[in-house]
Each structure stands twice: as structure tokens, then as C-alpha cells.
Amino acid sequence: MSSSQPPTTQLPPPPQQQQLQPATPPSSTDEPPLFICIECSFPVNSLYTAYSSADDRSLGRGVRLTQCPRCKRFADKYVEHDFVVLFIDMVLIKPQVYRHLLFNHLGRRDDKLDGSIKRLGVLLLLFDVYLTWARIEKGVSGGTPAVLTQQPIVVQYLFFLALCFTESIVFHLTIRLLSTYILNFRRANAVSTALLVSSCTKLFPILMVIWKYDVPAAARSVGWAVVVNNIEALRILLDTDYFRAAALTGAGAVVRAGASQAILAAAGLAPSWDEAGWREWAGLLGLGK
């Protein structure tokens, strides 16, 4: 009799161990690091390591933050935070949040403006139009000029829109040129990104929808807060001291105030050179809209 061989059972292949995949591919040695530590500015190649793509990264699941090899702290804790925390820390002028936004989140090697920055710029421009319109209507003396009464509302809006757009362009171009030719900083769009991000405090007048208060005084207060944030953002981006950052911001504010006064004078809206006129200039230099 032929002996039958015992049946063989095939074992399933052993499960493959899941490898830890970095969130972003590390850069080569010939290129600069992709990110920096927001605490000590030390370069790192990744901000976190993802364990599984099935987990919710917005809740911090399946994600391990990268530890900085120099300061031994998390390279970027804001990876797990939402926009509300970022906005609060920007109001508090924390340098870590600006390093996160300017280098780790919005910074691009091709020096192109991020889409969110473009939308933020449009939103800030619309706020400038409303505040400038309200400020000029309350600050003009000697009767209301024809541009505010005899023209249709659409023409008035387009005038203030052109005014605010010109002010913003002049302000950004002045600081971009000075940072390029004086500090040898070649990423011009990164300068505009820093200025727009640090101008988020301009959105505070939206509280006028809830509480009514004096528009010129509130605009000047918000304007000086924007100045301080602009200085901090430029200092971090350009890796310079407070004196040079303040000089760049002040130069941009002076040029913008001059352009604004020239346009307003041509339209008959410039204040006379009395005490009220000097207060108006002080408000313009403080980015008060």
C-alpha cells in the first residue's frame, strides 16, 4: 500500500511591521533644512512623525512631535494647535508663533505667496476701507467735501478702496526694497507675508458690530498694536535687531503717510495744518485706519 503523505497547512505570511514615516521627506545635505525649531531657531528636517494615516492628526493622534537636538524641546508645538491659539499668541507677540508661521507653515523656497496670505490681504484691505472711510468722515472739518456727498456710494467706495490699496502697496514696496538693498534679504514675498500676518490685529475693529466706540481713537490704538507686531515679525524674519526692524517699519509708515496725504489733498480731504492735522498725521504714521 502506498502511504499517503499528511496534509500540509500553509501558514499566513507574517504581518509586516509598520514603518514610521516622516511627515515630510528630509532634505539633502546640499539644501538648507526645511524647518526650524521655534524655540531656538535650530534647523530641523521634520516637525513630526506620523504613525498611521488613519488617525486624526488634528487631534494629535498618531503623531509624535520632533524634539529639537539643541534645546531638547518640541521643535514646533503649534503643529497640534488650531488658529485660535495662534491668533492669541500673535496678539501677545510671542516670537515662537511667528517662527512657526513664517518658516514652518507659510515659508516657501520658491518665495511665492501662499493662497491663505492672499485672502488675508484682501480681508485686511476691506477692513482698511471701512475704517479709513469712517475716520475721514468724522475728521474732515469745514464742511463735507463733494467726494463724500455728491458722488454715488459706489464711487465713494472705489475711491477709498484705491486709497487703501495704494497705501498698502507703497508700505510693502518700501520695506521690501530697504530689506533687499540694505539687509541683502532676497525673499521679497516673505517680507510681505510677515507684514500681512503681523497685521492680523487690524481685525479687532470687527468688535464694533457688537460694541460701539469712537472709531478714530480705536483705529489709532489698533494701529500702534499693528506697528509693534510688524516690528517683531520683521525682526524674526530678517534675523536682525529691534532697531533695524523698527527703522524699516517707520520708513514704510512715513512713505505711506506721505502718499496718503497727497491723494487726500488732491481730493480735498486733507486736514489743515493745525493741531487736528498733526493728530491726523500721527494716526497715519501709527497705521491708524
pLDDT at position 13: 45
pLDDT at position 63: 73
Same domain, 230 and 271: yes
One-letter identity of residue 77: K
pLDDT at position 17: 35
User: Does residue 49 lie within any of the structural domains?
Assistant: yes
- Full residue range of the structural domain in which residue 182 is found: 115-285
pLDDT at position 142: 52
| Domain end point (choices 105, 126, 154) | 105
User: Does residue 28 lie within any of the structural domains?
Assistant: no
Alpha helices for 14-152 (secondary structure H): 83-91, 95-99, 115-139, 146-149
pLDDT at position 25: 37
User: Does residue 29 lie within any of the structural domains?
Assistant: no
Same domain, 96 and 138: no
Same domain, 56 and 176: no
The three cell numbers locating residue 235: 525682526
Q: How many structural domains does the chain have? A: 2
| Domain end point (choices 64, 84, 105) | 105
DSSP assignment of 127-190, as one string? HHHHHHHHHHHHH--SS--HHHHTS-HHHHHHHHHHHHHHHHHHHHHHHHHHHHHTS----HHH
pLDDT at position 178: 95
For the chain, which ranges sit under pLDDT 50? 1-4, 8-32, 273-278, 281, 287-289
CA-nearest of 228, 172, 218 to 195 is 172
C-alpha–C-alpha distance, residues 55 and 164, integer Å: 45
pLDDT at position 21: 34
User: Does residue 8 lie within any of the structural domains?
Assistant: no
pLDDT at position 108: 72
pLDDT at position 148: 67
Same domain, 41 and 171: no
Q: Which residues pair with 35 in a beta bridge?
A: 44
C-alpha–C-alpha distance, residues 259 and 106, integer Å: 30
pLDDT at position 18: 34
pLDDT at position 247: 95
Same domain, 80 and 126: no
pLDDT at position 20: 33
Same domain, 250 and 230: yes
pLDDT at position 214: 61
